[in-house]
Structure formats: C-alpha cells, structure tokens
A and B are shown apart, each in its own frame.
Chain A
Amino acid sequence: MNTRVDSTLAALADPVRRRTVELLGERPRSAGELAGELGLAPPAMSRHLRALKEGGLVEDGHPDFDARVRIYNLKDGATAELRQWLAETEAMWTHQLAAFKTHVERSV
C-alpha cells in the first residue's frame, strides 16, 4: 500500500465525504449544490471537498459559461467502483508481491 491509497482512505473516513463521493458518482455538482443536499454550511462543505481533493478522489473545474462557478467531479471520471477496484487490486498485488519476495529470497 502506498501513500496514495492511504490518503484516499483518510478522505473516505468521514461519512459526509463518502456521501459526497456517492453524489458525485451520479453526476458533477457545484459546492453549493452539494452543501444543499447534505445540509451543510458552505465552509464545512469546502473543508470536506478539500480533503477529497487531497485524497485524489475529486477534482474541480469551471464550466465554459461561467468562470465563477466551480464544478466538482470524481477525478478522471472515476466512479467509486473503479476507485474500489483500483485500491483492492493494489492491495492484493502488494500482498502477493510481498509473499513472492519472501519465497524467492528464502530459496537463495
């Protein structure tokens, strides 16, 4: 496991952030829209979105028609399922390569 997976897990450790990822998995949304749906004050929503960005789960951008509006997406269009698959596959190979290392170095 590397630090990327670690920070992803940290980002997902909060139920509000998990719900945010679910909502963004449906479609991109603005921070205001997310705050409204989750019943959060804008500053609290910003904090959660920042943590999700740091965890590599979401990214933001501006729609062409309005530079003042910030729209949040799951990063790379990644769905939660893709994230899950990537993290689990990474964990699996980390485990298996460690087992391989033990094996191959024992027989030296």
Chain B
Amino acid sequence: MSGAAVIVALRVGVSPDVAFAAFANDIGQWWKSHPLFRLSRKGDGVLRFDPQGPEGRLVTRFDDGDEWEIGLVRHWVPGERLAFGWRLPSFKAGQATEVDVRFEAVGGETRVTVEHRGWDNIPQEHAARHGFELMLFQRRLGEFWRMSLKGMSERL
C-alpha cells in the first residue's frame, strides 16, 4: 500500500513567488471550511503557519480559542515548495500524513500541485471502526458536486 497519494493541481494567474507567499501567509484567509470535509468536529478553525518559515508549523485556531497543530513544516522554499505534516484530531497519536505543495512557473502563471501522501501511517481500524459508510460517502460527494457546480454557475 505504499505510495498511496492524492494529487490535485491547478493553475493560478500569478508568479510562483506571489503564489507561494499567498499560500503560506494568507492560508487563514483563503482556506474555506467545507461542511463535508471538516478538519475536526469543531470545524476547520483559522489556519496559519507559525512562525512563517522552515522552522514553522501549521496550526489552526478554533472559535473557542483551542489550537491544534496540524503538522511541522518540512520544506519551506519560497516560490518553489512548501511541505508539511498533516495530522487531524481524529488521527491517533503518532499517526500523520504529509502534504507537499509545489509551485512551478508555466508561462506567466503558476501550476500549484498538492500531493497528499501517507495513508500507510493510518491503521485500517481507524477508519474501519466506522464501517464502510458508503452511503454517507456517496451522499457527501454528491453534495460536494452539487455545491461545486452551483459555485461554478454563479461565477459564469
């Protein structure tokens, strides 16, 4: 099962330096909590890299003032790469996944690629405890699609 990963990429109309800075510095502004993919029971909170830079960590602060460390920064290369650990409250101690974000110039724009790896680190019983939940899975993804399409049509 090694190498299980999610890769999502998208192009943004700014330079890699601007994209990196916005990703890292403004994450508390652009990260939009989504009812179907909440980071914790308390929602997503407000995310930030604290402190900014290679010694930082990704932290979120919930409405009640509690904070959760999502993960340590592994690579902080402005304009190129931002990698960090990813651990949610539902994970057991010592379990983590890793997120690697790359910024590549494409013409005058930037391709931003998010690779999220590391299911391996999560024992099966963690998720399996809840059963298969396929119906829930389908309903949630179906709803995700509807919301995405609605959002898209509103922009047109």
- Chain A residues engaging chain B, CB cutoff 8 angstroms: 1, 5, 9, 12-13, 18, 21-22, 25, 76-82, 84-105, 107-108
Interface size class of B (residues with CB under 8 A): 35 or more
- Interface contact B148-A99, CB-CB below 8 Å: no
What are 22 contact pairs spanning A and B, CB under 8 A? Answer: A1-B148, A12-B138, A22-B134, A78-B1, A80-B134, A82-B4, A85-B119, A89-B116, A91-B36, A91-B141, A93-B116, A97-B8, A97-B10, A97-B112, A97-B114, A99-B32, A100-B12, A100-B112, A101-B12, A102-B30, A104-B23, A105-B13
Q: By the criterion CB–CB under 8 Å, are A103 and B141 in contact? A: no
Query: B residues touching A (Cβ–Cβ < 8 Å)?
Result: 1, 4, 6, 8-10, 12-14, 18-19, 22-23, 26, 29-32, 34, 36-37, 112, 114, 116, 119, 122, 124, 127-128, 132-134, 137-138, 140-142, 144-145, 148, 151
Q: Whole-angstrom distance between the alpha carbons of A95 and B33 in the complex?
A: 9
Query: In the bound complex, do residue B134 and residue A12 qualify as a contact, i.e. CB atoms below 8 Å apart?
Result: yes
Q: Report Cα–Cα, A93/B31, bound state, in Å.
A: 10
Q: Which residues of A contact B145 (CB under 8 A)?
A: 1
In angstroms, Cα B4 to Cα A79, docked, is 12
B138 lies within 8 A of A13 (CB) = yes
Contact between chains at A90 and B4 (CB < 8 Å): no
Give the shortest distance, in Å, between B140 (CB) and chain A (any CB).
7
